[in-house]
Amino acid sequence: MRQTLIAFAIATTAAAVTSVAVGAPQNQRAAIEAAVAAPTRTLANVARDGARHPVETLAFFGVEPDDTVVELYPGGGWYTEILAPYLASSGSLWVAAPMPNGVKGVQTLMAKDAATYGKLRVASFPAGDAKVPDGAADVVLTFRNIHNWHMGGAKNAQLAFAEAFRMLKPGGTFGVVEHRLPEARPDGDQDKSGYMKTSTVVAYARKAGFEVVGQSEVNANPKDTADWAQGVWTLPPVLRLKDQDRAKYEAIGESDRMTIRFRKPA
């Protein structure tokens, strides 16, 4: 019953999705497009734009050029390469991850190109000595990380959502992209597959205090059945099976993903 109510609550926000995405000012979208086209981006990252839809995703989340943004678990800096030039003039960007390994990729970018990444600030996550201050952020973003938090245990995942809530100003946005598991599948499939149910993600968010603003299907992939022997890592870009059925998995493409915009109540 609880999951049914969550699913209903999500469904009732569907009408808001179009207005949120389309309502982004044209100059804001143009600025995102310019950042995506930045010559400083790594060519291998640019090659994945068709699978990750950065312009549409950031427009849906309503990220503005003068925002203070926190990117959680930035990995090698795929989105950092877009967010840094986008926020360079009037905004600010934090990256937050477990120290020191979680920020090594971004620190490599900073060392290589101080002109683009010199203003970027690094913080520990979950909060440690070098944390993002309470209520400092207009937007917190996380891309394909919730499954890792969840696989570390529900308590660990809930702490991550609570930390995102703590960082945000009242009225701030928490933008989530995550590999999506069909709701009919057993909950236990979330423990090892790398896929998460939308209802599980929403439950974590609501428990932390967030409201659902809306969902977008911009990162959906109906070819992904989410039932692979090696989990989500069977598909590109990881291709864990290497050359075994490689053409099949490349034809499917990257995972089916939920894209949800949450809000910290004002």
Q: What is the pLDDT of residues 130-186, one digit of tens each?
A: 899 999 999 999 999 999 999 999 999 999 999 999 999 999 999 999 999 999 999
Mean pLDDT score of the chain, rounded to an integer?
A: 91
Choose between 253 and 12: higher pLDDT: 253
Cα four-point dihedral sign 230, 235, 238, 240: positive
Question: Percentage of residues in the chain with pLDDT exceeding 90?
Answer: 88
Minimum mean pLDDT among 72-81, 118-127, 207-216: which range? 118-127
Per-residue pLDDT at 129: 73
Are 49 and 14 within 8 A, CB to CB?
Answer: no
The full set of domains in the chain, from first to last, is 2-258 (3.40.50.150)
pLDDT in tens, 21-53: 434 678 899 999 999 999 999 999 999 999 999
Which residue in the block uniquely carries the two structure tokens 């394909």?
144
Cα of 56 vs its chain's centroid, Å = 13
Own/partner pairs, 103-107, CB within 8 angstroms, 24+ separation = 103/74, 105/74, 105/75, 105/76, 105/77, 106/74, 106/77, 106/80
Other C-beta atoms closer than 10 Å to the C-beta of 99 total 15
For residue 228, name the pLDDT band (cuts at 50, 70, 90): very high
Q: Specify the DSSP class assigned to residue 225.
A: -
Other C-beta atoms closer than 10 Å to the C-beta of 7 total 15
